Structure 1
Amino acid sequence: MTQSENALADRLTVDLTTPVPPLAQIRQWLTTVLADLAEDVLQDLLLVCTELVSNAYDHACAPRRLRVHRSHNRQSLRVEVDDGSPDRLPVAGSSRLGTFRGRGLIMVDNLSRRWGTRLCADGKTVWAEVPLA
């Protein structure tokens, strides 16, 4: 985690280079950096981050990166997770890993204002906007 923990800057970025997702570290770091958020908003944001990062590890290849930033109007936090698999688009409610999987994006959909995917030349970004109020 490379960003100052004193306050949330306009954009926080974490390169996800470990072989397994560092979910506990991400959650602990964001809890410290985003201490000014209401507890319910923070918990929603942590769940959205956990789900999007987990999906990048479960369904896509490296390189992976997490970004969190406040919207221009400061009404929401945007979570973005990049990965190197533009051909593997997320689908809410389904998983190639089995019938007991696939509910993460349904939770993301319920907790966020909106979510989606943006394709780029070398991968994709899956993003979600978590309302602050």
Structure 2
Amino acid sequence: MPEPYRAVLKAHPESIGQARSCIAAAFAQWELDDYIARLVVSELATNAITHACGDSIVVRVERNGDGSVTVEAWDNEPGSAPLLRSPNLEASSGRGLRLIENLVREWGWRPLPNKAGKVVYAVLEASE
């Protein structure tokens, strides 16, 4: 399997475009369609930036043995699980994880070691 792509980005909204570029580079190398992955990483990176306690986030993408791809965003907010909110048409946010849930095979989160934050991930089927 190829090495994962990883980018450390500033916890700033301008970094969302850089997160998409990281995904695009990986998917181009793997000769896969990146449309869904760019949308997913936009949502994951936005959430990571929103919840980051420090000045950076990490975006990581990895090709799995079964051909699927895992997209991750890491932030340093310890112990806070992502919440699937009930749809609220009047809210200006809160729909990203519902969108992701409908686009990917699975998604979830795990804490980073030593309470250093969390990783939110999504597993996508590969599209050539």
Whether the TM-score (by the shorter chain) exceeds 0.5 is yes
- Structure 2 SS opposite 1:99: coil
Matched residue, 2:120: 126
Q: How many residues are paired up?
A: 120
Pick one of 67, 84, 93 that aligns with 1:92: 84
Distance across 2 between alignment mates of 1:99 and 1:88: 21
- From the superposition, tell whether residues 71 and 19 of structure 1 become closer, same or farther in structure 2 (CA, over 3 Å): same
Identity, % of aligned positions: 32
Match of 1:50 in 2: 42
Aligned partner of 1:37 in structure 2 is: 32
What value does the CA root-mean-square deviation take over the aligned residues?
Answer: 2.3
Corresponding residue of 1:4: none
- Specify the alignment match of 1:20 in structure 2: 13
Q: What runs of 5+ residues in structure 2 fail to find an aligned partner?
A: none
Task: Write out the 4+ residue segments of structure 1 that deviate beyond 3 Å after TM superposition.
Answer: 18-21
How big is the shift at 1:89? 1.7
Q: TM-score, normalised by structure 2?
A: 0.80
- Superposition TM-score, scaled by structure 1 size: 0.78
